[in-house]
Structure formats: C-alpha cells, structure tokens
Amino acid sequence: MVELNSFRDLPPENSIGYVFANKEINMSTWVHKGIVTAAAYSNLDWSKDDRNPAAFRKDFIQIYQSQKIPRAIELVRADLPVEVKARLKSILLGMEKDPKAQEVLRRYQKTKKFDELTDDIRTELESLEQILQLVDETLE
C-alpha cells in the first residue's frame, strides 16, 4: 500500500494507492463518480445523508464490515478515591436513562450510552492492537 498525495495520482505498479479524503462526503462522492474504487468509513456515517447521500448509497455495496469497537474509552486517575470512581461509573452507565443527561450525551460525539468495559471488549481491543501493529509494519 502506498499513500498518494491526491486521488488524481496513480500508485506504482503492483501496489494499492490510498488517500485521505478528510470528509466522508468526499469519499462518498469520489466512489459514486468513479474517481476512486472504494472508501472506508464509520458505520455511524453510512446512513447520514450529509456524509453519504441516499442517492449515492443505493449504488454502493458493502464489501467488508469490521468488528465493532469502542469509539472512546473513559479514563480516571489511578489514585482517585474508590468511592469517587464508583460514583462516576454509576453516573456514566445510567446517563441513557436520565432525560437531563441526553443533551450532554448528544454533545459528546452524539453518544447514546456508555457501556462497561468487559473482558470480551478488552480481548477485542487486544486483537485490534495486533492488527494495527501489522498495518503499521506493512506501511513502513
């Protein structure tokens, strides 16, 4: 894989070129107009008309969907008192049920709810870390 400066550039022979579009609407438009072959973006953007218009969507096929991964992980200081950690965790996990918290959730990347970090999610994150390491090595 070779990073290109522009979607107008051609990759070297026997390689695949990629370019960063900076906005999802650019990716959708480029694929729809046949400027690029494929694009990858968040499932959260798939059904948003300002990022992937319905008129474009009907012409696309999904060729791959990655496993679900957390969009964000909330962290606290290790020395934070246990009672404070527990209360903070309780508040975050209960926000989806609190009408007063809906605006705060929306403003935080349009979050719907917080989930507890389970052992399964930790395992998935570890496997993703291995994939990222492989990608980094491949791109170097």
2-28, pLDDT tens digit by residue? 999 999 999 999 999 999 999 999 999
Q: Are residues 96 and 49 in the same domain?
A: no
Is pLDDT above 90 for 50? Answer: yes
Is pLDDT above 80 for 69? Answer: no
**φ, ψ for residue 2, nearest 5 deg:** -135, 125
Structural domains in the chain (count) = 2
pTM, to two decimals:
0.63
In a domain, 133, yes or no: yes
In a domain, 64, yes or no: no
Domain that holds residue 99: 82-139
Q: Which residues of 56-75 are buried (b: 16+ CB within 10 A; e: fewer)?
A: beeeeeeeeeeeeeeeeeee
Q: Are residues 8 and 47 in the same domain?
A: yes
